[in-house]
Amino acid sequence: MPDALLGGAAALVGVLMFGTNYVPVRRCETHDGLMFGWAMGNGALGVGLLARVAFGGEVLSLGLLGGAIWSVSNALVLPVVKMLGLGVGFALYHGVNLVVGYLVGRLGLFGAPVDSPHIPVLCDCSVLILLLSLVVMVRVEPDMSHGRAKGGAADAARAREQSGVTARTEPAAASGALQRAAELSSPLLAPVSSTSHVPSVARSESAPSAIGHVSASRSAQFDGFSTSAIGAAASFAQLLQPPDLFALPEPAVQVHVRKLWGVLLALLAGLLAGVNTVPFLLWTRNVRMPHEPALHFLFADLLGVWAAAAAMYATAGLVQKVRCKRYPHAPIRPACLSGALWAVGCGGQMIAIDNIGMSTAYVLCAIGPVMVSALISAVVFREIRGAANRQTFMLALALQFAGVGMLAAGSQTS
């Protein structure tokens, strides 16, 4: 099979897996997400073990590094969304992610091999079009009222009790990281893989969200393509916010400091997401043996993801133990299935990068799942309602199709 055809087919597998891997947990509560992330890592590691049996592979330090980078990037996303709101946070994080991932292959950053597109200007313009599509897409406000998580208000109250958050002891304006995580509701967009799935967030006075409003009665509910990484970051969100700064009495100063931290974390998270495949590229260029399949790297990468998720889960559990608070548990089987689907997509992305280059494959596997999850949201779950929403949604999709077409046309290697 020609390299371009194989790479395109593998990219399609990655897009479909990344765009649908959170469907199994659409109606599941993930609480703070750390146990869910660990369970998801178990599913991913299971696929990694099967890949090792089928294609070979070993424990590689570069693979462990790549998986850990991906986990850290995802762990930073919740504070970004909480501080900036979904609209700004989504556009900034994924904008940085797309640009960095594209430039890694286009310019050979961090020692990665340099891609040689057939029409470089066309590829560069396609990335600009895709960035614009993200800005347009976050203006869509999905109707989530018909897709509630199982358990309803009783489960929501139980989740708040388990996490140690009560309405009587914690004002709404200063709720802690776990309550903020519990108030997450899934969005139209569920970024994937190298990109992080960002659920919509309740609007706040300091960072209004462009998508969705979540009422207090819907706390602890994840209705759509929720992500374990977002929930997992909740336990670390308070550690990323300097308490002395956020305790300043001046509201204006507090808002500016929060936004500053949000921007810095968004830049860092996007940078890490964009470079999480660099270890794979370095292995391909410097370590890989002739005729060794790309999937030899998959086991080590997924092992790194699992190890990082397990470390975060164990750390959070220890913190809760010291604080004498119960740790809420998330469903295991749906999370494992979600992780398995994601791992298959990760393998497809590696094969695509190996055959059509980093700059093309990474962008396709980053923007494609957004398109898939958006279409599922609109067609299957019917969450796009109202003429203005539909028009904005169609404009964003049109820009994404145009950008992907331009990228495909200009990315033939010379």
Note the pLDDT of residue 367.
87
**CA 12 to each of CA 225, 297, 361: distance values in angstroms, whole numbers, following the listed order:** 19, 20, 10
CA–CA separation, 306 vs 68, rounded Å?
8
pTM for the predicted model, two decimal places: 0.72
In this prediction, the residues of the chain whose per-residue pLDDT falls under 70 are 1-2, 30-33, 78, 86-87, 142-251, 412-414
Note the pLDDT of residue 321.
87
Instruction: Pick left, alpha or beta for residue 200 (phi over 0 → left; psi -120 to 50 → alpha; otherwise beta).
Output: beta
Note the pLDDT of residue 397.
87
User: Based on the number of CB atoms within 10 Å of its own CB, is 22 exposed (0-12), middle (13-18) or buried (19 or more)?
Assistant: buried
CA–CA separation, 357 vs 351, rounded Å?
10
- Condensed to tens digits (0 to 9), the pLDDT of residues 174-198 reads 333 333 343 443 334 443 444 444 4
Q: In the chain, what are the domain boundaries?
A: 3-410
Q: Two tokens at 12?
A: 């399609």
Note the pLDDT of residue 412.
67
CA–CA separation, 46 vs 52, rounded Å?
10
Note the pLDDT of residue 62.
95
